Structures are given as C-alpha cells and as structure tokens.
Structure 1
Amino acid sequence: MSKLPVIVGFGGINAAGRSSFHHGYRRLVHEALSEEALAPMFKGLANLMGKQNADDRQDMLDHTLIRKIEKQTFDINQVTTHRKTNMQSNGESITFVTRKRQLPANIPDNWQIEEIEAGKVKVTVDGDLEVMTQDTYTPAITSASQLPTGFDASQYYNSRNQPKGLQLAVFGASDAVHSLGIDWDTVLEHIQPDEISTYAASAIGQLDDFGGRGLAQASLKGGRVTSKQMSLMLTQMPADFVNSYMINSVGATGANIGACATFLYNLRQAIGDIQAGRARVAIVGGAEAPIEPEVIEGFKAMGALAEDAQIAAIDGSETADDRRFSRPFAENAGFTIGEAAQFFILMDDQLALELGATIYGAAADVFVNADANKKSISSPGVGNYITVAKCMALAKNILGEEGVKKTYASAHGTSTPQNRVTESHILNEVAKAFNIDKWPVAAIKAYVGHSLGPAGGDQLAAALGVWEYGIIPGIKTTHKLADDVYDSNLEFCLEHKAVGEKGIDMNAVVLNSKGFGGNNASGLILSPHVTMKMLEKKYGNEALSAYREKNQAVVAKAKAYDEAITNGQVEVIYHFGTQVMEGDDLTITSEGISLEKFKNQVEFSNDNPFADYC
C-alpha cells in the first residue's frame, strides 16, 4: 500500500522574512491579524534586519517585499560596465606608459615597446588603439523582491567564498530542520541511513562573483579563476550542501531542474520516493539569489521583466510605483525578480506518527507535463492544462465531488501579459470541468516576486499559513483585472479572503508552476484537517491519541526554537569536516553495509523485482 507523504517541518527566507512558523506569511496578511500574532513576527523580523528593537513597524514594512533595489544588493546608480572606445591617432602615434607585467602576452603588430625604467615600459602605437573604458549605468529595472533590509545569511556561519544562493540554502535548510522539533539524530535512529532523500536546486545556478559571474569574468578583468567558482555555481549545490554539511546523509539525492517549476519537480521526486518506500524522510527545497545586474539584463532582453518606464506608463505617471511592480492578472508588463530559499521536510505517515511529528498537511502528488509542439520555446503550450486537470481529478478522487469544490488555486501568477491570459484560461477551464462556480485564485508573487527555482516553495509556505490563520493572501497589488483575463468560473482574491478558523473551508490547494521551455508542474497539497482524518481512518483513534501525546513534546521543542530565533539567537547548522567517513569506516556484507557514524545499517533487499521473469 502506498505511503502518504506528510509535511512535518519547513523553513526558509524570502522578501517577507523567515518562513518557519508562518513568520513570512504573517507579513503578507499583517493587516488582518491580531496583535498577538503580529508582535512576534515584527520582533523576529527586527532581529533578522539587525534592528535594536521592533518599535518602528512601518520601517520594517517599508523594507520588506518588493521595493527599490537597495545598495545591500547592488547600487542601481553605479552598475559597472565597459564600453569600447576607438582611440584615433590623428596623424600622430599614440603613446602611454605602463608596468611591464601588465603588457599582453601577444603584443599587437602596431605596438613598439621601449623599457624606460625598472618594471616600466613606454608603448608607442602606430595607428588606432581600441580600448575598453569602465563606465556605469542605471538599469531600466530598479525594483526587485529583495530579502529584508539588513539580513545577511553569511554572518551566521563560516561562509567565506560561498555564493549568496548557497548561504541562503544553509540558512533555509537549517530553519526547516530546527522547525521539526525533533533532534536530527533521533530521526536517524528510527530509519536506515539510506532512507533519506534530498532534492533541492536553483534554476539558474549561483551567478555572483563567487560562482558563475566570477568564473566568466575573471580573465576579462585580469583576474584568476578560483578553485570553487566552477563547482559552487552548479544548480544541484543546495542539495549537496544539505547532505554534506547539515544532515550527514548517504541517501538519495538530486536536483530536477525545470526552470520556474524546479521546486515542484523536486517535490515530485520526494513524493515518489516516500510513496514507493525508497525513503522515509525527504528534504525538498530550493535557493536562488538572482538579483544581479547581468541576470536582470538577460531577462530584460527576453522582454520578461517589468521595466520602470512600462509601469509608469500603465499608471499614467512620470515615476514607477516601486511597490506595485508585480501585478498578477492586471494590466502588467512583466515579472519582478526575487530571491529566496525554501525547504520542507516530508515523512511517511507511519514514521511521522511514531515520532510525534507535527503534521502541517500532505503532499498528495505533483504532475508534470510538457507543452508538445509550439512556435517559441519560451511561450506556454498545452501541458499546464493537463497538470492542473490531473491535480483536480486526484482531488476529486480523494475529497469527493463536493469536497473538491472546497479547494483553491495558488497560481503561478508571474505578472506578465502572456501569463495573465494563458493561466487564467487554464484555471477557468478546469474549474468549469469540475463544476466549480467560483474557484478562489491566489498569486503571492504580488508580494514576493518571482524567485525562479524556489518559487513553488514560496507558494507552499504561504499555503501552510492559510491553514494556521485562515486567510488566503489577496492579490493586493492588482486593483482591477485586465480585460483579457478569463474569470467566468474563478474568484480572483484581490483582497484577503477569510476561509474559516485555521482554513477549515479549504480542503486542499493546487500549486501551479509554468516554466520556460515547457516545464509545467502542478501539485496537490491536502490540508492538515483532511490529512488527520485520513490518518485516523487508516490507523484508528487509539493510534492518533498516542500520536497526539508524543506530539506535545515536539511542539514544545519547536516552540523553543521559534522563540530563540525570534529573539535573535540564530543557530545555523553547518558541520564542515566533522564525522567524515572513508572506505575504512564501513563494513560490507552480503546482507548490508554498516557505517561507523550511524546506529543502523543499510540493509539489502531480499526481493527479486523481476521474479516473474526468472
């Protein structure tokens, strides 16, 4: 019988703040929450931002979510570039003096070199000289969804020479593991060492000076490539860091890349491992730090990003509204780039009950379908119709014909003109097919922009918050739907939508992702109240009562972590060079493998999967 993958921990960071215990979610819906819910959120945010106290709440609101790009990211008024300059001799030779060691290895034919003193030479150029002169510019796009002002993941551990994206991965995965409320060694004691899966990635890799940009530009700037830049830029590095420096895993690992659908691709891998019994625990996540001038210019060249002038023109204003760059399903111009790390811990239902882990919901399945033939590789196609419809068909099978109507869609909602038409049509047609008159639609990129690889994780973190505080975040940057948006069977939540205490009115959410190249993924996440009913039916009241008793200690330990980090006591997990094992630290037999650092051994299966053929 298939196992049910349940969500037992989560953490991370994006423009709204820390993800664990719904801190970031509370920032999205702060206007609708009580002071009891807001006070710890602001206190935790103040400490992450390096503030002395949490008194100036407006300042914290102003320096989170989408806003003008700040100097902590890069100086938008001084972006470095180089321009070709052709220096003409005007009938006379061009001369200049430089250090001998700065001469090119291959001297141009029209250069004459004369040594004038120790280490210096005079260069005479016959004819023209082409040079690159350093310049600065202000990009056409000056807003992004940045991490809270003052937050710096590198300060919490020895992160020297690591790209920002990997620093965020370490912080985010640490937050998720701590949120579990169970010591990781305790988890390992209840499973075989290889019964863990880790699937995490970035969509475009690490592209700052410590990664891809440094690698590509080193020789052009007269510098040297380092030994780390090539390896640390790879897209699977977030998973590698989790395995090697955080959880000591010898289990399955990987990074399934699908552009903007990358997170859901990796969630699909984890679900499959747990359902098939290959893993009992899975860590799924992603990290991306793409707010870099070169990345912005690349997406701008594709016509994908909203530019200042375009936003101003839509509003009939001389200046762009920095806070409303992302306007899903409105008159819009393109997406707003963001940065984030999001990680989730899944367990099979039996292990979760055994350990007393807090259950935040269940990941029922993720469906992935390509777009088939199309004219442009970046344009949408038919695949996303299939993924969303499959999700709703599964929801109907689990929840029934009436239960499926108590769901909502967390749209990809990128704020591009193409997305607003195509995705609204997809959601609308699926709603019609399942007899839903007004299917609620959320789009959290209105708040946190598009973080690329982890974007689906941003959506999932927000969805879990709905089942704690009972509010679907409104698409508040969209004041009016665009005329070409399909909505006959949809309810676009332009304002916060109350859905009952702890979100009881919503049985499930469909997370939707549409990636460049035809990478479509949709995931069905079941609410905690539906999940607990399913577990009660399978295991009975007595087992659930025993679980709830165990869960009390787990909740207390998790709460202690939340209170500590809220008060500024950040403990990042980073075990560099500890408990390292080599070939002499294991024993191999015909029954399994014993590893010196693990209590339990890896046991070989005695089953022949091809018995029918043998």
Structure 2
Amino acid sequence: MTALPVIVAFGGINAAGRSSFHQGYKRTVLDSLCETEQQKTIAGLACLMNLVSWENDHYVDAEGGTMSEAEVAVEYRQQVLDGTLIRRIEDNHFDPDNVPCNNLMRLEATGEALKFITKRRSLPPVLPEDWNVTDIEDGKVQVEISGTAEGLVPNTRAIPVKSAGILPTGFEPAKLYNSRYQPRGLQLAIYGASDTVRSMGIEWDTVCNAVHPDEIGVYASSALGQLHDEGWGGVISNRFKGGRPSSKQIPMALNSMPADFLNAYVLGSVGHTESVAGACASFLYNLRSAVDDIRAGRRRVAVVGNSESPMNPEVLEGFTMMGALATEEGLAKIDGTDKPDPRKTSRPFGDNCGFTAGESAQYIILMDDALAVELGADIHGAVPDVFVNADGVKKSISSPGAGNYVSVAKAVAAANAILGEESIRERSFIQAHGSSTPQNRVTESHIFHEVAEAFGIENWPVAAVKAYVGHSMAPASGDQMISTLGVFRYGLIPGVKTTDKVADDVYDDHLTIPLQDMDVGAGNLDVAFINAKGFGGNNATGVVMSPQVTEQMLQKRHAEQWAEYEARREQTRTAAAEYEQQADRCELEPIYRFGEGIINEADIEITSEKMVMPGFAQPVVFDKNNPYGDMA
C-alpha cells in the first residue's frame, strides 16, 4: 500500500492574521460569517494587534477597562479591518514617501582648494593623491583638496510602490522571544512553525517517540534569502554605509535558514532536512519532496513551509524596475483617479498593472495515514501528489510558458483517477496563482480554460488569495494552502473583492471567478488544485483532498482501528482547542529551544545494526537491503 500524506496541523501568519484555526482565512470572508464567528475573529485579531489584552479572564483595553468579546468586536472592528490585509506600507517597515538614500555629488573648488575639518579617525585608510591633511587639535584634521571630489549626501526619495501585504498592525514577532540579530523572515519562521506545532493537539515529543529520528523531515526555505540588514542587506550595504559586515549576517542570510532554524530551535530534529527554492512556487516544491518521501516510506512525519519578508525598499524597487509591481501611477491610470485605493492594489483576473508584495510564514505538518490513525491526529486534508514542470525554451526568463499546462493537467488527471469524474467536475475548485499582473490573468486563465474543456468541467470556481494578502514569494502557495483548508471547513470561497469586474481578456468560458464570497456549503467540496507560477519557469500544481474525502479513504483502509482512532482524536481536539483559546487571546510564546537539549556526541552509541542517540526514544536503524541486488 502507498502511504497517503495527510495534513494534521497548519499554522503561520500573514497580512490576514494567524493561520491556525483559520483566523486569517476568516478575515478574508469576514462579512460572510455568522455573527459569532465574526466576533471571535475580530477579538482574536484585536489581541494579536495589541489593541486589547487578556487578563484575569477578561479582555482589557489600554485604559484598564474590562470588555466582553462582543464589546471588543464592536469597539475595535474598524481598527482591525484597517490594520489587516493589503494596505499602505507602515512606518515600522519604512515610509514609502521618504526612503533614505544617498545622492552622489561632484564637488569643484571655486578658485581655492576645497577645505573641510574632520576627525583623523574618520579619514579613509588610503588617502587620495590630491588630499593634503594637516593636524589641528583634539584629534581633528584639516583637509585641503586641490582638484575635485565626490561625496555621498544623505537624502530621501519616494518610491512608486506604496502598498504591501504586511503583518497586522501592532504585531511584532521579534518581541515574542529573544530574537536578537535575526532577520524578520526568520522571526516569522520561528513564530509560524511554533503556531503549527502547537495547533496539532499532540505533543511534539509524542510524535518523536512514535517514529525513528530519521523518519522526520523538515522541508522549508525562502526564495529570496534574508534581505534585511541582519542578512544579505547588511552584508552588501554596510561598507557603503560606513560600517562593516558582522559575523552573523551571512549565516543568517541563506535561503535554507528557515529549515535550519526549525531543526535547531523549534523541533530539535536530527532527521532529514531539505530546502528547495523554486521562486514563487517554493512552497509546492518543498511539499512535493515531502509527499514523495512519505509515499515512498522514507519519512513518516514532514514539516513543510516557507517564510519570507521582502519588505524593504531595495527589493520593492528591484521588482518595480522589472515592471512586476503595481505602482501608484499605474493604478491611477487604470482607475482614472489621482489617488488610487491602497487596499485594492492586487486585482487577480481584473484590470491590473502588477502584483503587490507581501510577507508571510506558512507551515503544515504531514503524517503518513497509518501514523495519523495511530496517534489520533485530527485530519484537515490530504496531499496525494504535487506536479512540477519547467517551461522549456523561453524568450524571457520571467515570462510564463508551457510548463504550467503540464502541471495543471497532470494534477486534474491524478485527482480524476483517485476520486472520479464527478468529484473534479462538480466538487472541485482552483486556488490560482493569481499574481495580479496583466500577463498572468491571460495565461493562467487560458490554462484553466483548456484543462476544464479537456476534462468536461463547467463553471470551475477560481479563488485568488493574493487579492487579500499580496504575493509573499516563497510562501505564496502556503497562503493558498491555508485558505484552501478554510474553504473546506467553512464552504466559503473568498471572492476577488478588490476588483469591480473580470478583465475582458480573461478566458473564463468554463470558469467562475467570483467577485464576492461564494458559498458552496461546508463539506460540499472534494478536492482543490493549488497552482503556482514562478519566475524562471518554476511551475507547480498540488492536489489537496478535503478532510471529508480523506476520512472516508482512511476509514476504509483502517476499519479495524477506526473506533480507537476516533476516541484518541477527541483528546487531540480537546488539546488543540486549548491552544486555540490561548492563541486567540495572544498568549503566545514561540518555541525557541536555544541551547536546550544539546546532544552530547560522546553518548551516541553506534553498532552495525543501529545508532542510539540520547534524547530520542527510538534508534536510527540501518537499512541492510541491497537495492541493486539484481546487479550483484
């Protein structure tokens, strides 16, 4: 039997809020929820954003007054709405109208030499030939320049991009643990992975004790690396700013660090580790590796995800120069206004002019179906397969190509083989890449149109979560995955509410692209297709089965253990609900095991059969089967 990779936990953070227990998803469909769910979502976000706190079994405002959940939802609703999803870039990142820069100036003397006074220690180690330096007093010198000179003068500038999918206002992951010297992207990784592990409802040690250490895998990365000053940003720019790189910046900068941080500080894992970067398809690339390993029996547990925070002006300007980002000027032309709405910059399949960047960390935990049943894990869905294909010969490395036709068609064919025609025709939907560029809306819709026609699908619902949270690069398909799990749970497909109409050049004959939330009913969907298109020809499409379909399949395979499984699952759900309550009240403490439980290498025992490691209940067992026996 082939093991089925099932989703037993999910968590993270993006512009919509916390991912676990669907908080962020519910923010995207807020007005379509019942009043109770709306109140819970608003109150949870108000805590996350530090608008209120939870003390002595009450919500407490800044003045110390106590409030009920309903009162918080009324009092802080507008602040929560204004401080979530895509919006104008806030000052804790940078002011887009006043970005620090340096102007290069060429100086020429007007008759006499150029003269200035400075401290001797400020002089460059190697003096230019036309500099004459004279000591004066108190460590100062006078410099005379006989020719011309160039200098950098500090200044500010406005950048064309004003909006982004930034984390909820007031939420600072750096303040939740000792995060000194860590780039923001890695802070998000710690928070997102901690949220995921704690949402599972099963202690991580229980999971570790149930499997061999090398049967656990972590599959995580970022696409761009860590570009803030604590990472590549500082390595590249510090000398030009008059400083110098530190010993921590390059280790912190690597795009494999999200996986490394999870292993070292969250999970304490000595198992398999893998960091696959496939541009904007990186989440699905990592997910494919995890799914393949579980199906092959190499892994029984996999933590999969990405974190990225490209929120610095240099990155945004780089994408702007490619013509990739939606600018204020471009949006103004489309809308016929001088001041476009900063909350409606991302318009997948609408009249648009570029994508909107976002920051995010999204993680899921997969188990093989037998282990999930054994431990009583709650099942949120399953990923039977992920397909990855390149574009072939291209004129432009950043343009879309043929590979995504292959990955989408193979994904639908795979779901058709597993679930049947009725499921894909009547009870499936697409989570589109939906980047909000003019080229994407045409090419991706044409792919969906052609595949739908080939498989007899009419009115195929299409969701595009980037309308709400922006494009987070590596975790983008993780944002889609989290939204998909929410759709399965609540039956609401988020509409593309940031645009008034589907663009005229979109191929939508076989598609339904809702502009308002689409109620398909909870439990009425069998499967979703998560699609990703990345620069360079990185295409991936994942098949995600609903928890209802997954449970039916597991019940057939594990019929004899099912009653025991359901009893254990109730305990899991009770423990998960306790964490949900803590998380909604922002009683958050990320898992950060810095220096805890370090393995004493002298205590490792190795024989020809196995390896026993301190702190692990089960040994690493060596495989003695010869896979090339037929060639011996």
Task: Output the TM-score relative to the length of structure 1.
Answer: 0.98
What is the CA distance between 1:568 and its match in structure 2? 2.3
Give the Cα separation in 1 of the matches to 2:199 and 2:76. Answer: 28
What is the CA distance between 1:453 and its match in structure 2? 0.5
- Which position in structure 1 is the counterpart of 2:468? 447
* Aligned equivalent of 1:285, options 305, 313, 316: 305
1:512-591 mapped onto 2 (5 Å cutoff): 512-540=531-559, 542-591=560-609
Question: Is the counterpart of residue 188 in structure 1 residue 216 in structure 2?
Answer: no
1:594 is matched by which residue type in structure 2? V
- Asked if 1 retains the 8 angstrom alpha-carbon contact of 2:308 and 2:473, the reply is yes
- Which position in structure 1 is the counterpart of 2:241? 221
What is the CA distance between 1:331 and its match in structure 2? 1.0
SS of corresponding position for 1:221: coil
What is the CA distance between 1:105 and its match in structure 2? 1.2
2:281 is matched by which residue type in structure 1? A
1:321-346, Cα deviation, whole Å (9 max, x unpaired): 10100000111000000000001000
What is the CA distance between 1:56 and its match in structure 2? 1.3
1:520 is matched by which residue type in structure 2? N
- Which position in structure 1 is the counterpart of 2:17? 17
2:10 is matched by which residue type in structure 1? F
- Which position in structure 2 is the counterpart of 1:2? 2
Question: Is the counterpart of residue 344 in structure 1 residue 368 in structure 2?
Answer: no
Question: Is the counterpart of residue 112 in structure 1 residue 132 in structure 2?
Answer: yes
Give the Cα separation in 2 of the matches to 1:354 and 1:581. Answer: 28
What is the CA distance between 1:583 and its match in structure 2? 2.4
Once structures 1 and 2 are overlaid, which stretch shifts more, 365-374 or 565-574?
Answer: 565-574
* Aligned equivalent of 1:509, options 501, 515, 528: 528
Give the Cα separation in 2 of the matches to 1:582 and 1:242. Answer: 20
- Which position in structure 2 is the counterpart of 1:314? 334
* Aligned equivalent of 1:601, options 593, 608, 619: 619
Give the Cα separation in 2 of the matches to 1:77 and 1:104. Answer: 33
Give the Cα separation in 1 of the matches to 2:447 and 2:500. Answer: 22
- Which position in structure 2 is the counterpart of 1:303? 323
Give the Cα separation in 2 of the matches to 1:585 and 1:432. Answer: 62
* Aligned equivalent of 1:479, options 500, 511, 521: 500
- Which position in structure 2 is the counterpart of 1:417? 438
2:325 is matched by which residue type in structure 1? L
1:170-193, Cα deviation, whole Å (9 max, x unpaired): 000000000000011111111011
- Which position in structure 1 is the counterpart of 2:57? none
SS of corresponding position for 1:297: helix
What is the CA distance between 1:74 and its match in structure 2? 1.1
Give the Cα separation in 2 of the matches to 1:537 and 1:581. Answer: 42
1:547 is matched by which residue type in structure 2? Y
What is the CA distance between 1:604 and its match in structure 2? 0.9
SS of corresponding position for 2:542: strand
Once structures 1 and 2 are overlaid, which stretch shifts more, 329-338 or 400-409?
Answer: 400-409
Question: Is the counterpart of residue 385 in structure 1 residue 405 in structure 2?
Answer: yes
1:184-217, Cα deviation, whole Å (9 max, x unpaired): 1111111011110101111101111111111111
- Asked if 1 retains the 8 angstrom alpha-carbon contact of 2:42 and 2:76, the reply is no
- Which position in structure 1 is the counterpart of 2:378? 358
SS of corresponding position for 1:114: strand
1:93-108 mapped onto 2 (5 Å cutoff): 93-108=113-128
What is the CA distance between 1:582 and its match in structure 2? 3.8
- Which position in structure 2 is the counterpart of 1:323? 343
SS of corresponding position for 2:136: strand
What is the CA distance between 1:39 and its match in structure 2? 2.1
What is the CA distance between 1:260 and its match in structure 2? 0.2
What is the CA distance between 1:239 and its match in structure 2? 0.5
1:28-66, Cα deviation, whole Å (9 max, x unpaired): 000010122122222221111111253311110011000
1:283-324, Cα deviation, whole Å (9 max, x unpaired): 001000101100001000100000001111111001111010
- Which position in structure 1 is the counterpart of 2:39? 39
1:461-481, Cα deviation, whole Å (9 max, x unpaired): 000001111101111112111
- Asked if 1 retains the 8 angstrom alpha-carbon contact of 2:532 and 2:541, the reply is yes
1:513-557, Cα deviation, whole Å (9 max, x unpaired): 0000000000000001110111112122x4222211110010000
Give the Cα separation in 2 of the matches to 1:240 and 1:218. Answer: 25
- Which position in structure 2 is the counterpart of 1:236? 256
Once structures 1 and 2 are overlaid, which stretch shifts more, 475-484 or 391-400?
Answer: 475-484
1:298 is matched by which residue type in structure 2? G
What is the CA distance between 1:428 and its match in structure 2? 0.6
Give the Cα separation in 2 of the matches to 1:554 and 1:472. Answer: 28
Question: Is the counterpart of residue 431 in structure 1 residue 452 in structure 2?
Answer: yes
1:356-393, Cα deviation, whole Å (9 max, x unpaired): 00000001111000000010011111000000000000
1:80-159 mapped onto 2 (5 Å cutoff): 80-159=100-179
- Which position in structure 1 is the counterpart of 2:224? 204
SS of corresponding position for 2:214: coil
- Asked if 1 retains the 8 angstrom alpha-carbon contact of 2:423 and 2:527, the reply is no
- Asked if 1 retains the 8 angstrom alpha-carbon contact of 2:108 and 2:147, the reply is yes
1:107 is matched by which residue type in structure 2? L
Give the Cα separation in 2 of the matches to 1:579 and 1:609. Answer: 36
**Paired residues, number:** 611
Task: Output the TM-score relative to the length of structure 2.
Answer: 0.96
SS of corresponding position for 2:583: helix
2:589 is matched by which residue type in structure 1? E
Unaligned runs of 5+ in 2: 53-60, 62-71
1:364-375 mapped onto 2 (5 Å cutoff): 364-375=384-395
Question: What's the C-alpha RMSD, in Å, of the aligned pairs?
Answer: 0.9
Give the Cα separation in 2 of the matches to 1:249 and 1:133. Answer: 49
1:140-193, Cα deviation, whole Å (9 max, x unpaired): 111111100000001111000100000000000000000000011111111011
Question: Is the counterpart of residue 275 in structure 1 residue 295 in structure 2?
Answer: yes
What is the CA distance between 1:102 and its match in structure 2? 0.7
What is the CA distance between 1:505 and its match in structure 2? 2.2
What is the CA distance between 1:118 and its match in structure 2? 3.4
- Asked if 1 retains the 8 angstrom alpha-carbon contact of 2:303 and 2:363, the reply is yes
* Aligned equivalent of 1:75, options 95, 107, 117: 95
Runs of 4+ in 1 over 4 A off after TM superposition: none
- Which position in structure 1 is the counterpart of 2:66? none
Give the Cα separation in 1 of the matches to 2:322 and 2:292. Answer: 35
Give the Cα separation in 2 of the matches to 1:302 and 1:568. Answer: 39
- Asked if 2 retains the 8 angstrom alpha-carbon contact of 1:72 and 1:150, the reply is no
- Asked if 2 retains the 8 angstrom alpha-carbon contact of 1:72 and 1:149, the reply is no
Give the Cα separation in 2 of the matches to 1:403 and 1:186. Answer: 36
Give the Cα separation in 1 of the matches to 2:445 and 2:81. Answer: 30
Unaligned runs of 5+ in 1: none
What is the CA distance between 1:111 and its match in structure 2? 0.8
SS of corresponding position for 2:305: strand
Give the Cα separation in 1 of the matches to 2:470 and 2:283. Answer: 15
SS of corresponding position for 2:420: helix
1:391 is matched by which residue type in structure 2? A
